[in-house]
Amino acid sequence: MSDCPFPATGWQGVCDTDVRQTVQSPDQRIEGPHILIVDDNREIRELLAKYLAKNGMRVSHSANAAEARRALKEKAIDLIVLDIMMPGEDGLSLCRHIQETSEKPVIFLSAMAEDTDRIVGLEIGADDYLTKPFNPRELLARIKAVTRRSNNLPQAETALSDSQAIRFDHWVFDPERREVRGEDGTLLNLSTGEFRLLSVLLSHPGIVMTRDRLLDLTRGRDSTPFDRSMDNQVSRLRKKLERDPKNPEIIKTVWGGGYVLSCTVEAQ
């Protein structure tokens, strides 16, 4: 189609006439997840919104980070599809905000194909990453995979969230208040990702957790080959928890295996 802004084969499904004519009326009830698309390109936003709506999803879209922040406050968003390069506040900054204030999964879209850009995006909390141009069917598949795994995340945290505070080493983990404090009352400043990681480790004391397993339970996504974002997150968490991060006593490394919470865990 000559008027299609995505001439590549992968975008044909988005530009088909039936997709362009897909309209979600205000009172139309769709049971699928509510997706927020954040991209400064209007055509990409609208075509993606129509494609995802056609495939049973509720869709909202924003042109910039400011609009996205308002949407996140006003609507029950389940997942964010987020462009990295935007005027004003970029996608990396917005992703940090999302991770600090919620546990909503994020899939990055970017024209940048460098490994370092992908790794930075994953390290700050993104659940997946697609490089433009991409096949919209692949994005749809990844959205379904991330939401499916994210829906299973609470299973690892339910036992903690429904119980009283938990003591481990010289710390107290309080799931109700979503805080970690020292015996002297000092509060730790943990990011959403760090809190989620600690929650998973506390749910499996003494059990060796592979990187893949930790990534799956904390981010709801499959790891990629040579993905070391979990190593970096464990390192940051150790710096906040351990008396001597270079000789950890709480979170120990099992060479060739992963990580294990080696301290005693007991109800407060």
Q: What pLDDT score was predicted for residue 9? A: 40
3-state secondary structure of 266: strand
| Residue spans of the chain under pLDDT 70 | 1-31, 112-118, 150-163, 219-228
Q: What pLDDT score was predicted for residue 2? A: 36
pLDDT per residue over 40-84, tens digit each?
Answer: 999 999 999 999 999 999 899 999 999 999 999 888 888 999 998
Closest C-alpha among 98, 41, 111 to residue 71: 98
Q: pTM, whole model, 2 decimals?
A: 0.53
H or E element at residue 115: helix 115-123
Q: Please, what are the domains in the chain?
A: 9-152 (3.40.50.2300), 155-267 (1.10.10.10)
Q: What pLDDT score was predicted for residue 102? A: 78
Contacts of 95 (CB under 8 A, 6+ apart): 82, 106, 108, 121, 124, 125, 126
Q: What pLDDT score was predicted for residue 226? A: 44
Q: What pLDDT score was predicted for residue 151? A: 62
The C-alpha atoms of residue 153 and residue 102 are separated, in whole angstroms, by 14
Contacts of 16 (CB under 8 A, 6+ apart): none
Rounded (10°) angle between helices 136-152 and 42-54 = 60
Q: What is the DSSP letter of 25?
A: -
